[in-house]
Amino acid sequence: MLNLGKLHFGGDYNPEQWPREVWKQDIELMQRAGVNLVSLGIFSWAKIERKDGEYHFDWLDEAIELLHQGGIAIDMATATASPPAWLTKAHPDVLPINFDGVRLSHGGRQQYSPASKVYQQKAAALVEQIAKRYGNNPAIEMWHVNNEYGCHSPYCYSEQSRQAFIEWLQKKYASIEELNAAWGTDFWSQRYYDWDELVVPKRTPDGTHPNPGQQMDFKRYSSDAHLELFKMERDIIRKYDQKRPITTNFMSMKFTYAMDYFKWAKEMDFVSTDHYLAQHDPLNHIDLAQQADLTRGFADGKQWLLMEHSTSAVNWQPRNYAKTPGQEFRNSASFVARGSQGSMYFQWRQSQAGSERFHSALVPHAGSDTRVFREVSELGAWLKSNPDVANYPTDQANVAIVYDYEQFWALMQANLPTQDINYAETVAKWYRAMWENGTRVDFVPADASLETLSKYELVLMPLVHMLSEQEERVFHDYVAQGGNLVVSYFTNTADRTLRVKLGGYGGKLVKELAGVYVEEFYPLREGQGALSNGYKIELWSELTRNLSADVIAKFVESDVDGSPALTVKSHGSSKVWYQGTELKLGSQRKFFKSITKELGIESEGGESTEVVRRGPYKFEIDHEKNKVKLRNN
């Protein structure tokens, strides 16, 4: 558990990039800026272990002591995120192999396969040395395992990965026949008779793609394989430190999908995350709010911390726009309002060399006499002056959005009704419509319990393509107990093996709860499609018939004119709305506004202003006027 009564402020510190005379300057500047925590040693493996088994801690000891004397706490990293050159040269099978069968080279970062026994052994040995040396060091406030798992090489298609995948499958399936049934391997003569016949889903002949069920299981395996690495390191640290909390930084970003963070969060002492804006988007503060709310959903009542974001420009977007004056303060305030226990950055001092030398930092290339340093110092003072905020969680919303990484994985596959389905974009549109209406939302997983769903008056289900029978039953029970649903098109089309549910798309969720029978999908042609009530649509229409719902709008100017597109069905005091198309943003806002008004769900803020409550504190953030107000009610 993180320390209460304190909001953390600081970032990644890499003293190994600088001569020692700069280190004391760093401490003085940190004190001026109000920094109280730094992440240390994240990419230091090559500096610590210079040859196999030859460890050097003198420089790290000195840096830790300087920070401790300066009153700056340490988030101690395990340094395993980037194996050194001596390791990959001696053991090239540590390096991952990509989808096309090409072994990736040393020279970037995360150049390891999670299935590599050598990597596992060497990483474990390094963590043992670090944890043994610093496990009782009073300067350490928390532990930071690896870094951004799965960001750069989430999947490895090597022979050792194939063997690990088979072992994972043997734990999931009782027999090879059960696997064949789950994957539907009688299609295209893909049936397996022996476990060793199984392959990883690499590139197949042109115009074909690996088995959909196999692809899903490989993504599940890959997330689990990386999680096992985290647990390995965590458990080593625990031998030497039973008190300080341990985390690894997620990447809660719109198009980051490879790790199942709802599952990962259960293994964390607290959740931490990194978030970087798409700075070309003038409304990127809405994406920031979405990802902060999503991270709070991962945490599910645990504390969470923004471990990395940027003071200004990043270095990896096509055009790396700098943040505008005051923007960073608003960004950090929004994260804190939504539950972060502070505001941390990559990195403290902007690098002179290396791939990220043009990535912004708290101390930019131009030094401390800069707008960036003055603004982060102002933020540091503001966080320090409001420590009591850390004692309260963000207030729960009345509305929840179902979010599930497996839906993301399924809808990335080929051979869907249209290539234009985009899970991340649709979820973002639904969130943005609510944000602009001033309606706050939380995020819950698709396998949420009835107890969790029952906390919310309204649950939104955008593109929840797969549900097991048990998961589907929970949503039925939620409605039976007074809950309200909005169900989108292409929801509950398949079970968790991607096997299509027969007898009308959407299964019982759509036929019984929504009262709609979906016969066939009709992706919209260019210029096609509208609704009878004037709402604007895109991407999708479908041939439907009304079973027992009230029709709000029908398709017009399409191939399915007259088919119900928006419906609502009452179940006693509950209602289920069905949205059989992709509404354009303005229409999505109107649709949601009509629903929340009918249910009496209150809104605050909207348009350019967000209002978030955290215990007795009320955050008012005006992104147009560039103002942040924090009120203690």
In a 10 Å sphere around its CB, with 0-12 CB exposed, 13-18 middle and 19+ buried, how is residue 562 labelled? Answer: middle
Q: What are the backbone angles phi and psi of residue 501, rounded to the nearest 5°? A: -80, 130
State the number of CA atoms in the 13 A half-sphere of 20 facing the CB: 9
State yes or no: is 308 an active-site residue: yes
Given 49, 141, 148, 610, the catalytic residue: 148
Say how far apart CA 143 and CA 247 lie, in whole Å: 6
State yes or no: is 148 an active-site residue: yes
DSSP 258-297: SS-HHHHHTT-SSEEEE----TT-TTHHHHHHHHHHHHHH
Say how far apart CA 221 and CA 60 lie, in whole Å: 36
| Omega of the bond leading into 347 within 30 degrees of 0 (cis) | yes
Say how far apart CA 476 and CA 509 lie, in whole Å: 7
Characterize 90-122 residue by residue with b for buried, 16 or more Cβ atoms within 10 angstroms of its Cβ, and e for exposed.
ebebbbbbeeeeeebebeebbbbbbbbebbbeb
Query: Taking phi first (over 0 means left), then psi (-120 to 50 degrees means alpha), and beta for anything else, what does residue 104 get?
Result: beta
CB within 8 A of 366, min separation 6: which ones?
none
Instruction: Check if the beta carbon of residue 301 is closer than 8 Å to that of residue 337.
Output: no
CB within 8 A of 451, min separation 6: which ones?
none
Question: 401 forms bridges with which residues in the sheet?
Answer: 443, 460
Reduce the DSSP state of residue 40 to 3 states and report it: strand
Say how far apart CA 566 and CA 531 lie, in whole Å: 9
- Identify the DSSP state of 349: B
**How remote is the C-alpha of 255 from its chain's centroid?**
8
Sign of CA dihedral 555, 556, 561, 562: positive
Instruction: Check if the beta carbon of residue 221 is closer than 8 Å to that of residue 165.
Output: yes
Residue 222 to residues 24, 33, 114, 464: CA-CA distances in angstroms? 43, 40, 8, 22
CA-derived radius of gyration, the chain: 25
In one-letter notation, the amino acid at residue 274 is D
Say how far apart CA 490 and CA 494 lie, in whole Å: 9
Given 49, 141, 233, 308, the catalytic residue: 308
Say how far apart CA 245 and CA 264 lie, in whole Å: 15
Reduce the DSSP state of residue 373 to 3 states and report it: helix
Reduce the DSSP state of residue 567 to 3 states and report it: strand
State the number of CA atoms in the 13 A half-sphere of 446 facing the CB: 24
Q: How many CB atoms lie within 10 A of CB 318?
A: 5
DSSP 485-533: EEEETTTT-B-TT-PBPPSSBTHHIIIIII-EEEEEEEEPPTT--EETT
User: Annotated catalytic sites, by residue?
Assistant: 148, 308
